[in-house]
C-alpha cells in the first residue's frame, strides 16, 4: 500500500549487511544508508523486469467474477492471476493503558525510528512478549544501555518453537547481557511511568515495546470472499479457494492433510512464497 520511507516494512532492510538486528543496527548507525534504503531492489530492477511498480496505491476491492482489482482512488486493474500478499500488523494488548503514547510496536522503519527516539529519553524499557521481536528489542535496548525488563506468559523462552534446551540457552544469553525476565506473568495495566503485572509486581518504565505477534490483514480477502481461517487458506500451490487468486507471506495459511494448519512463511534467503503455482511448480511440501 505505502511501502515508502515512512512505512517501509522492516523485512525490506533486514538482510545482508543489516541482517543481524535492524533495531540494533539502526540505533547505532541510523545513517543515510539505512534511511535511504527503501526497497529491496533498485528502481531499474522493476523496469528491466517489466514490472510496473505502483507505490502509495491501496487496493480497496477485488471483483473475482470480473477479475478486477480496484484501488481506493477508483483505478481498475484486470488480472489473469492475482497474488494477495497484504501482510500482517502487530497485535495490540487489550489492557488499560495499551494506547498510551509511550507504548509502541515494531513493524516498520517508522516504528523503529520512534522507538529509537524514545529510548534516548528513557532509562528503562519494558518489553512485552519474549519471542523474536521482543528479544530483538530487548537486546537492542541493552546495547543502548537501558535497563530492560521482559514479560511473557510462557515459563520457558521459545520452547514451543525451538525446544527447551535452546530456550534455556537463549534466556541465559540474554541474562548475561542484563535482560531481566518476568516469565509466567503478563501485564495487567500500563500507566505513564509504570506497569502492573498480573502477579501484582510493579515495573517502572517510561518506554514500553509490545511484541506479541501479528494479525494478518484480511480485509481484502474477506471482501473478495476467500476462505479464511486465521489467514487466507491456500493449497500446496498457494492457490486460495477461488481459482486464479493466490496468497503468500504473513496472510497465507495452509491446512496440513493430517489436520491443523500453519503459516506459509516466506523467509528471506530461501525459496517459498515467491515461487507460486503461478509459476509452474509447487512449493516444497512440509508436514510436521
> Using CB under 6 A as the criterion, which residues of the chain lie in contact with ligand FAD when the complex forms?
1-3, 9-11, 14, 22, 58-59, 85-88, 106-107, 133, 136, 217, 220, 249-250, 267-268
Nearer to ligand FAD, 200 or 269 (CB): 269
Nearer to ligand FAD, 30 or 85 (CB): 85
Provide, rounded to whole angstroms, the least separation between the CB of residue 99 and ligand FAD: 20
Q: Quote the strand ranges of the chain, DSSP E.
A: 59-63, 68-71, 76-78, 82-84, 88-90, 103-105, 124-128, 147-152, 180-183, 187-190, 194-197, 202-204, 207-210, 214-216, 232-234, 245-247, 252-255, 261-263
Nearer to ligand FAD, 142 or 198 (CB): 142
Return the DSSP state at 48: H
Nearer to ligand FAD, 9 or 194 (CB): 9
Nearer to ligand FAD, 188 or 263 (CB): 263
Task: Please give the Cα distance from 193 to 95 (Å, whole number).
Answer: 16
Nearer to ligand FAD, 189 or 214 (CB): 214
> In the numeric block, which cell numbers belong to residue 65?
467474477
Task: Please give the Cα distance from 95 to 92 (Å, whole number).
Answer: 9
Task: Please give the Cα distance from 71 to 8 (Å, whole number).
Answer: 20
Nearer to ligand FAD, 125 or 133 (CB): 133
- Taking the alpha carbons at both ends of the chain, their separation in whole angstroms is 34
Return the DSSP state at 131: S
Task: Please give the Cα distance from 43 to 12 (Å, whole number).
Answer: 14
Task: Please give the Cα distance from 22 to 67 (Å, whole number).
Answer: 39
Task: Please give the Cα distance from 10 to 154 (Å, whole number).
Answer: 26
Provide, rounded to whole angstroms, the least separation between the CB of residue 42 and ligand FAD: 17
Provide, rounded to whole angstroms, the least separation between the CB of residue 200 and ligand FAD: 31
Provide, rounded to whole angstroms, the least separation between the CB of residue 181 and ligand FAD: 20
Task: Please give the Cα distance from 239 to 254 (Å, whole number).
Answer: 10
The sign of the torsion formed by the CA atoms of 243, 249, 253, 257 equals positive
Task: Please give the Cα distance from 53 to 157 (Å, whole number).
Answer: 41
Nearer to ligand FAD, 27 or 86 (CB): 86
Amino acid at each position: 500500500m505505502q511501502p515508502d520511507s515512512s512505512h517501509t516494512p522492516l523485512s525490506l532492510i533486514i538482510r545482508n549487511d543489516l541482517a543481524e538486528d535492524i533495531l540494533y543496527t539502526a540505533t547505532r548507525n541510523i545513517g543515510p544508508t539505512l534511511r535511504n534504503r527503501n526497497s529491496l531492489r533498485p528502481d531499474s530492477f522493476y523496469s528491466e523486469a517489466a514490472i510496473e511498480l505502483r507505490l502509495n496505491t491501496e487496493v480497496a476491492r477485488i471483483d473475482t467474477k470480473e477479475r478486477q482489482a480496484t484501488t481506493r482512488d477508483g483505478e481498475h486493474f484486470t488480472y489473469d492471476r492475482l497474488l494477495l500478499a497484504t501482510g500482517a500488523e502487530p497485535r495490540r494488548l487489550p489492557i488499560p493503558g495499551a494506547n498510551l503514547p509511550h507504548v509502541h510496536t515494531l513493524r516498520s522503519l517508522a516504528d523503529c525510528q520512534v522507538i529509537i527516539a524514545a529510548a534516548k529519553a528513557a532509562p528503562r524499557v519494558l518489553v512485552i512478549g519474549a519471542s523474536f521481536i521482543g528479544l530483538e528489542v530487548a537486546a537492542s535496548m541493552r546495547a543502548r544501555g537501558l535497563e530492560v525488563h521482559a514479560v511473557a506468559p510462557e515459563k520457558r523462552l521459545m520452547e514451543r518453537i525451538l525446544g527447551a534446551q535452546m530456550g534455556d540457552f537463549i534466556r541465559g544469553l540474554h541474562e548475561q547481557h542484563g535482560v531481566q525476565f518476568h516469565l509466567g506473568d503478563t501485564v495487567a495495566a500500563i500507566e505513564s511511568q509504570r506497569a502492573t503485572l498480573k502477579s501484582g509486581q510493579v515495573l517502572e518504565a517510561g518506554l514500553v515495546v509490545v511484541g506479541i505477534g501479528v494479525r494478518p490483514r484480511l480485509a481484502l480477502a474477506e471482501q473478495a470472499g476467500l476462505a479464511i481461517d486465521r489467514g487466507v487458506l491456500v493449497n500446496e500451490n498457494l492457490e486460495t479457494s477461488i481459482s486464479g487468486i493466490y496468497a503468500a507471506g504473513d496472510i497465507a495459511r495452509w491446512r496440513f492433510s493430517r489436520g491443523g494448519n500453519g503459516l506459509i512463511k516466506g523467509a528471506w534467503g530461501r525459496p517459498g512464497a515467491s515461487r507460486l503455482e503461478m509459476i509452474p511448480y509447487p512449493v516444497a511440501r512440509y508436514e510436521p
